[in-house]
Chain A
Amino acid sequence: MDRDNPAVSAYTIGLRLGWYGLLAVPLLFLLVFYFYPLASILWVSLAPDGQPDLSSFGRLILSPYYRETLWFTLWQAVLSTALTIGLALPGAYVFTRYRFPGKRLLMALTALPFVLPTVVVAAAFSALVGSNGIINNALERLFSLETVPIQLERTLALILIVHVFYNYTLALRMITGYWANQNTRIEEAARVLGSHGWRLWWEIRLPALRPVLLAAALLVFIFTFTSFGVILILGGVRFATLEVEIYRQTVNYVNGLPMAAALSLVQIVIMGAALIVYTRLQRRVVVDLQSAESVARQPRTRGEKAFVTATLVVIVVMLFTPLLALVIRSFTGTEGFTTEYYTALGQNSRNSVLFVPPSTAIRNSLLFALVTTALSVFLGFIAAYLLTRRARWLDPIFMLPLATSAVTLGFGLFIALDSPPLNLRRSPLLVVIAHTLVALPFVVRSVVPALRSVPAPLREAAATLGAPPWKVWLWVDLPLISRGLVVGATFAFTVSMGEFGASTFVARPDTPTIPIVIFRLLGQPGAVNYGQGIALSVLLMAVCAVSFVLIERIRTAGVGEF
């Protein structure tokens, strides 16, 4: 209309620039808070005297020990991923297709394992399936056995079980979040045409789920590939991943930093390769998304009921018995039931400056988690748009922080952001940044599959009717991806609540979070300290459970408007 009017075109150009500026924000964030610190620590480690010294790579390649470590790291990650996805798929099916009492609560609670410190989880598993644990003792008494029937301690099996325990919720939520938005018309058509049983799964359902299956598998793979606490504590001396080795090198040895840097680089390169494979596999799949009513219904036939029950029993046993063991333990003193551990949490019996009231720890944790969630959803949303509409090739870059060793990243942040204008070394903001770097990939992975599947004609129609890009985004894309966004937000929140990686390697003035206080309590002798550590872990679960239910509420309220 007014194309020749300079004022109007200046305005359009301004809008455009603003739009591009906004798109650049997540990239800038990564540049400043990921690539720059990473480059700094690698440079300092590999070129301590200003001259790059790559001899540690030689040592790394020639040593059979590191080759074995690498092989084990890969192998256990592949196994863990396959197991997790395999177990989560039936769970996701049940959650998508059936209605049952307590469904929402159950979904909310599946994320609880994700926030628990490994030390606590290890204690719970030990109390359950350890050689002197509840199950073994019961079996021994029941069958008058001489030897311990279930010997899981320090086995690969236990590592895999705990990896599934931690990551199940990831796969379950991502798959369910995607599946629930899928149109069932194709499936119905296939049924009418005679597709049943495995053919229905193989030819219709799995291909339709492919984007989200790959995304979930990628996240679980990265998570288990960089597994640290689980391997250290449950695997014992015999098992080590690259991440464990990086930690040992950094902490123990004078000359450890170059080797740690070399190992970190190897880890990043392998992850980069996995990400490229992922991007290749992630072909554009047209999946008809709808934000319509859920297709879930009551299980009808006896077979359906049995299937739903069996799946739910597996979930409950796998995820909740260890958690329940912790809850019971937190109320059990040497003389039976007690609430003493909870009371003791609030008392500064030694008048110590180390004392942190639980309310303070909870407040700090929630504050960090909320800011992290807001920041990573904001950045992740823009990033997801960027990745689906403009620059797909950037995709792996957004995943890299998750694939980077927490020790390396923490040390990098520590040395890179130490002078003005960005002197954040003692700022609590550094904790938020460390958390956001880890949380951002979750948001991106949760949103991208949904965003890719938003039907193009819808957007084109909106654009034809004169909607500028941001309006299309707000009115067309956002409603359709709200489920994915909430899944991502939940993960960001969860990651922050439980994070005990990179942020522990930045200096902390006075903002102890719940995991840090748990760790301190479990580092001192005395039954009351131990009891308090477990009690605080239970509080951590409770705070998270309430938050998950609230997040779920927000989503339902939001979807109702669209």
Chain B
Amino acid sequence: MTKPFPLLLLIVLCLAPVPLRAQEDTLTVVTYDSFAISEEVQDAFEEQSGVILEILRLADVGVMVNQAILSKDNPLGDVLYGIDNTFLSRALNEDLFVPYGAEGLADIPEEFQLDPEFRVTPVTYGDVCLNYDVNYFEENDLPLPESLEALTMPDYEGLLVVQNPATSSPGLAFLLTTIAVFGEEGDYTYLDYWRDLIANDVLIVEGWTEAYYTHFSAPGRDSGDRPLVVSYASSPPVEIYFADPAPETAPTGAIVADNTCFRQIESAGILQGTDNLEAAQQFMDFLLSVTFQEDLPLQMYVFPVNPAAELPDLFVEYAAVPEVAVTLPYEDIEANRERWIQEWTETILR
């Protein structure tokens, strides 16, 4: 019985030195685990630039940014993709990026251009919005809550499930929405609002998956009994895309009323220390190209920042974009995140 083990160890040790250094003609993109593009789009870039694209996945945005900072002096790759505005400040403060004004940046609307020094390039945006179970609201003849305040009304008691901002990205976005809308000072602060939400029996769960699949009541789930959930404005079209079987009407919808959604803007940047600057710059240009931008909605369920990119029919028909989405300056988010989450936690626990 012992014999195979030393042998296997040998095999393991032999395997060790194989995938160490990336080749010269490889461009390594460091990103979060759910990064997705079409095979054709990846091929298009590789053909056009003559470099092989290597996608290196880390757990999630928060982990990714921290690991990029920890490996600053010995970077993992050439490009960091997917930093959203809630983590941007941290990355910029640590001087992670080589500034680059990507081709086509001039055509990108002002509101997405977060960094005047071009250290990062905006690529996508998406809105964290309330989603609702269409059936429930029709059957109960209930109007949709069109403001954050409405959620504290008796009509909506026990209907909403949200995520914990300490562990979930949409959860944090929803907390930031309430902070932007109600503020920290005055007669009625965001914490007062949360007290009212709790009095109205809001359910707070750990993450998006649990909220969306275990507690949200839309069809195709097992035990959910809450018809309102914090998710994305892009969730309803994706819900249809992955419905079983294809429904005649949309089972879920997003509420995009003014000041109820939080806008997340995702950026990419060239990592300091890259030995492949030219290819990295080509990739940044490619990120803004119509080819890549039009691939985004059905791959990563976000919206293209390039206005020239056309949305797929599914998104045109079923995705709503809020006219007035909430944002906060990214410096403020970074400066206050810890305190806000702490205060929120204490309010909830009390």
Contacts and interface: CB of A to CB of B under 8 A. Distances in A.
Interface in B43-74: 54-60, 62-63, 66-67, 70-71, 74
B1 interface: yes
Interface in A462-520: 474, 478, 482, 485, 504-505, 507-510, 516, 519-520
Interface string B295-306: 000110100000
Given A350-B38, A418-B74, A509-B56, A528 B244 contact: yes
Nearest to B38: A351
A411 interface: yes
A111 B329 CA distance: 49
Nearest to A247: B167
Contacts of B71: 414-415, 418, 425
Nearest to A45: B70
A122 B56 contact: no
A298 interface: no
Contact residue range for chain A? Answer: 35 or more
A423 B16 CA distance: 10
B8 A375 contact: yes
A334 B210 contact: no
A528 B242 contact: yes
A426 interface: yes
A248 B66 contact: no
A378 B39 CA distance: 41
B349 A237 contact: yes
Nearest to A119: B209
B9 interface: yes
Interface in B71-123: 71, 74, 76, 90, 93
B252 to A, nearest CB: 8
A372 to B, nearest CB: 10
Nearest to A479: B1
B299 to A, nearest CB: 6
B180 interface: no
Nearest to A376: B5
Interface stretch (B145-153, B219-227, B285-293): B219-227
B62 to A, nearest CB: 4
Interface in A509-553: 509-510, 516, 519-520, 522-531
B74 A419 contact: yes
Nearest to B8: A374
Interface in B200-222: 204-210, 212-214, 219-222
A524 B30 contact: no
Given A237-B345, A253-B338, A378-B6, A424 B57 contact: no
A333 B338 contact: no
Contact of B8 (A257, A378, A523, A558): A378
Interface stretch (A128-136, A210-218, A272-280): A128-136
Nearest to B57: A508
Interface string A328-355: 0100011100101000000000111110
Contacts of A329: 222
Given A237-B345, A523-B208, A527-B219, A352 B37 contact: yes
Nearest to B12: A371
Contacts of A525: 212, 231-232, 235, 238-239, 242, 301
Contacts of A398: none
Contacts of A522: 209, 213
B209 A252 contact: no
Interface string A410-424: 010011001100011
Contact of A340 (B34, B38, B244): B244
A527 B220 contact: yes
Contact of A415 (B59, B70, B167, B207): B70
B31 to A, nearest CB: 10
Interface residues of B, number: 84
Given A44-B70, A127-B222, A528 B243 contact: yes
A523 B209 contact: yes
Given A371-B12, A505-B63, A530 B220 contact: yes
A354 B167 contact: no
Contacts of B166: 237, 248, 252
A107 interface: no
Given A354-B34, A520-B33, A526 B243 contact: yes
A126 B222 contact: yes
A253 B333 CA distance: 11
Nearest to B1: A558
A375 B39 contact: no
Interface in A368-424: 370-371, 374-375, 377-378, 381, 411, 414-415, 418-419, 423-424
A250 interface: yes
A335 B245 contact: yes
B59 A374 contact: no
Contacts of B42: 353
A438 interface: no
B142 interface: no
A190 interface: no
B222 A520 contact: no
Nearest to B247: A334
A294 interface: no
B35 interface: yes
A228 to B, nearest CB: 11
B283 to A, nearest CB: 15
Given A248-B166, A353-B36, A507-B56, A429 B15 contact: yes
Nearest to A340: B244
A126 B213 CA distance: 10
Given A131-B223, A334-B244, A522-B213, 15 more contacts: A122-B214, A132-B223, A248-B167, A250-B62, A250-B66, A251-B60, A251-B167, A354-B34, A414-B70, A428-B19, A429-B16, A482-B1, A507-B30, A523-B209, A525-B232
Interface of A: 44, 119, 122-123, 126-127, 130-134, 232-233, 236-238, 247-248, 250-257, 329, 333-335, 338, 340, 350-354, 370-371, 374-375, 377-378, 381, 411, 414-415, 418-419, 423-429, 432, 474, 478, 482, 485, 504-505, 507-510, 516, 519-520, 522-531, 558
6 contacts: A232-B206, A236-B206, A251-B63, A253-B337, A522-B213, A531-B220
> Which 9 residue pairs spanning A and B have beta carbons closest together?
A526-B242, A527-B220, A251-B62, A354-B36, A374-B8, A378-B5, A127-B222, A528-B242, A132-B225
